[in-house]
Structure 1
């Protein structure tokens, strides 16, 4: 099985159309089984499309916002179909981003999506508050594992601290746990792995396996190599960015799994840069 995650920056990213096509080429080349995406946007004033016009789309139960004509996940799926590369996909939004976007997350899967669920992990549920956070998960045909995409807040945030969001997630995941399947948690955790006693340590000390650490073959692992949105304006970011490159994007599993490889992608070395984050791709048995 091959898993991939990327904070896309989507419609905010300069040279958006070209970079989206380049990322589609990466997916076609690698054929990941599940792709987890964060910061997946659509313009709030773009025209709405009925679900029946969206090949491969599976709506999350209870999510009632329409898919609009510039939805990043939809556009990516369309480009892939044009390459004879077919993915099922789902998307939710959690908040208003940059004052004009429905901002959320998406999952693309090679096998049919059987179940889709969303969960709020922030204390706030205010759609106009950019600190509102959700996670999105799927089960796919022929696999009992769950695959979640998530975009976490910062450790030192006074209103929405990382620990509060993680505690919410742990409570939610207790209702999923079984002996025979794993939960895969993929995304942007806004927590450098070299900062002790904060987000990264909380996750790993809670029993989650870091696929990068477990991988038999891996690279340096850095997913951010320059100043980025959010970190630029936060006290934590101003401090941590001085340390240079960071690992902020992870693929964790709730159970120990054999990880064959872990690679940073879209970093200019392995595939072109397509976002302000690099992606992560792993292979596992």
Structure 2
């Protein structure tokens, strides 16, 4: 099984069309079983793109906001479908970003999506507040005993909505839903806004609650850095030229990871976002 996660930055990126097509080519070549994306945007108030016209789209349970023309996930799925690679996919929006985008997350699966899930992890549920956070998950026909969630966490030191509270809520809801029971595995893929090199904060919090970092488990790996320059949300938290690992793939249960690679970093595929992606292979 191959998993990829990327904070896409999507419509905000310069040279967006070129980067969208470059990333579609990455997915066409790698053919991940699961692709998790964050900051998956559409222009709020744009023309509605009817569900029945969206190849492979599965509406997430409990989410009613329409997909609109130009939606990043829809565009990607369309490009892949046109190249002969069909994905089952779903998307939600968590908030209004940059005062003009429905900003959310998406999951694409090579296997048909069997079930969907979404829930709030931030204190705020205000759609117009930029710190509102939600989770999106799927279960697939190929892996009925596993759930895959795309994650975009807040910051450890945020006075209004700190990482620790969001992480506690995430685990509480997964426990309540029965996701953490024996016989089920849960994967968390995404941007955790927590550098692995900083002790006593978000990354350590995750590890101490029993989640396993696929990078640590990997038999083969690179340096793991997914950000190599100052980006939005980190302008007061990173030094210019600093590299760090902010993006992860965590498993709830022990698994064998053959490799963990950073992609779309200019070395392994072109840069397409302000984050690099992570790709892991899971050995069965």
State the TM-score, normalized to the length of structure 2: 0.97
Give 1:100's aligned residue. 100
- Residues 71 and 145 (structure 1 numbering): CA distance in 2 closer, same or farther, change over 3 Å? same
User: 2:173 aligns to what SS in structure 1?
Assistant: helix
Per-residue CA deviations over 1:156-176 (Å, capped at 9, x if unaligned) read 000110000000011012131
The equivalences for 1:245-284 within 5 A come to 245-284=243-282
> Are residues 1:12 and 2:9 paired?
no
- Aligned-pair CA distance for 1:54: 1.0
- Aligned-pair CA distance for 1:241: 3.2
The equivalences for 1:68-107 within 5 A come to 68-107=68-107
- Contact persistence 2:229–2:240 (CA under 8 A): no
CA–CA separation in structure 1 for the residues paired with 2:220 and 2:138: 27
- Residues 161 and 243 (structure 1 numbering): CA distance in 2 closer, same or farther, change over 3 Å? farther
Give 1:112's aligned residue. 112
CA–CA separation in structure 2 for the residues paired with 1:116 and 1:242: 40
Give 1:162's aligned residue. 163
Give 1:129's aligned residue. 129
CA–CA separation in structure 1 for the residues paired with 2:239 and 2:206: 21
The 10-residue stretch of structure 1 (8-17 or 170-179) with the greater mean CA deviation from structure 2 = 170-179
Give 1:193's aligned residue. 196
Which ranges of 4 or more aligned residues in structure 1 deviate by more than 6 Å?
Answer: none
Count of aligned pairs between the two proteins: 280
User: 2:36 aligns to what SS in structure 1?
Assistant: strand
CA–CA separation in structure 2 for the residues paired with 1:84 and 1:282: 24
Give 2:149's aligned residue. 148
User: 1:68 aligns to what SS in structure 2?
Assistant: coil
- Aligned-pair CA distance for 1:243: 7.4
- Aligned-pair CA distance for 1:181: 2.3
Per-residue CA deviations over 1:254-274 (Å, capped at 9, x if unaligned) read 011000000000000000000
User: 1:23 aligns to what SS in structure 2?
Assistant: helix
RMSD across aligned C-alpha pairs, in angstroms? 0.9
- Aligned-pair CA distance for 1:46: 1.2
Q: Which runs of 5+ in 2 are unaligned?
A: none
Give 2:3's aligned residue. 3
Per-residue CA deviations over 1:59-106 (Å, capped at 9, x if unaligned) read 011111000001000000001111111111100000000000000000
- Aligned-pair CA distance for 1:179: 1.7
User: 1:49 aligns to what SS in structure 2?
Assistant: coil
- Aligned-pair CA distance for 1:246: 0.5
Per-residue CA deviations over 1:202-241 (Å, capped at 9, x if unaligned) read 0011110000011000000000001111112xx4x2xx33
* 1:226 aligns with one of 226, 229, 232: 229
- Aligned-pair CA distance for 1:242: 5.1
User: 2:239 aligns to what SS in structure 1?
Assistant: helix
State the TM-score, normalized to the length of structure 1: 0.97
The 10-residue stretch of structure 1 (175-184 or 200-209) with the greater mean CA deviation from structure 2 = 175-184
Q: Which runs of 5+ in 1 are unaligned?
A: none
